[in-house]
Structure 1
Amino acid sequence: MDAAPDDAVPLVRTLTLPSEANLNGGVFGGWIMAELDKAAGLLGMRRAQGPCATVAVENLRFVTALRVGEEFSIYGQVEAVGRSSMRLKLDGHAAPPGGGETRRVVEALFVSVALDGEGRTRPVP
């Protein structure tokens, strides 16, 4: 599987715990989705220079299972910017705790909008 970029800094990095396990012993997909949403929020806020919110997930594909006890890192890039929206490409990678070879476990395309102080959409600078 695709390895994480050597020089990239993850938006989110965490260790998967037994409390995130599904019935098959892997990590629950809903937990992975929540971590992706956190990463999208961080990437969107950086690009929008302020608050933003996820309005859609256009694609979410689980490539392989994420196992309990693995380190989970999410990398992202802004794929496109509209007037108030952004398309954010995210890739989640697993690695043994303490480092080692990584593998892609999930990929997603999030759509986020920039928000003003009242929670209304605003232009992305």
Structure 2
Amino acid sequence: MSEHRRATIRTIPQPSDLNVNGNIFGGWVLSQMDLAGADTASRLAQGAVATVAIEGMKFHRPIELGDVISIYTDIEKVGRTSVTVKIEVFAERGLERSLHQVTEGRYIFVAINKEGRPRPIKG
């Protein structure tokens, strides 16, 4: 990961985000990834987008309470109405702030109009 890369979202999970095992609930990180991906896709689509698929999700290691989470997004593919966004999540852990990749996946978004129907992405 390039040190010059800018995170789409940086956040700190809270105790209310814990699962029964004491780690951060997977659904929490999925929702954060969806927010970051939608921000990136909507900027490219110049308007509203809807998530239509999540592909290739990998959970590399758990997110722990106290981790600082950085979510990075890259546009991988642009179709007529869709955008595929690669999303990587890293955790800064401990006082030394060691960096660990915790999750990655691909989210597919479709540009939508005011009626919620797919619309072409302006090129």
Bin of the TM-score, shorter chain as denominator length: over 0.9
Deviation at 1:47, TM superposition (A): 1.0
Structure 2: how far apart are the matches of 1:49 and 1:41?
A: 11
The reply on whether 1:82 has 2:76 as its aligned counterpart is: no
For residue 57 of structure 2, what is the aligned residue in structure 1? 60
The reply on whether 1:45 has 2:16 as its aligned counterpart is: no
Q: 1:119 aligns with which of 97, 116, 119?
A: 116
Look up the SS of the partner of 1:7 in the other structure.
coil
For residue 33 of structure 2, what is the aligned residue in structure 1? 36
Deviation at 1:97, TM superposition (A): 6.8
Residue 27 of structure 2 aligns with an amino acid whose one-letter code is G
Structure 2: gaps (5+ residues): none
Q: State the Cα RMSD in Å.
A: 1.5
Structure 1: gaps (5+ residues): none
Structure 2: how far apart are the matches of 1:97 and 1:35?
A: 21
Tell me the TM-score normalized by structure 2. 0.92
Identical-residue share of aligned pairs (%): 35
Q: 2:67 aligns with which of 49, 70, 80?
A: 70
Structure 2: how far apart are the matches of 1:49 and 1:98?
A: 40
CA contact (8 A) 1:58 1:110 kept: yes
Tell me the TM-score normalized by structure 1. 0.91
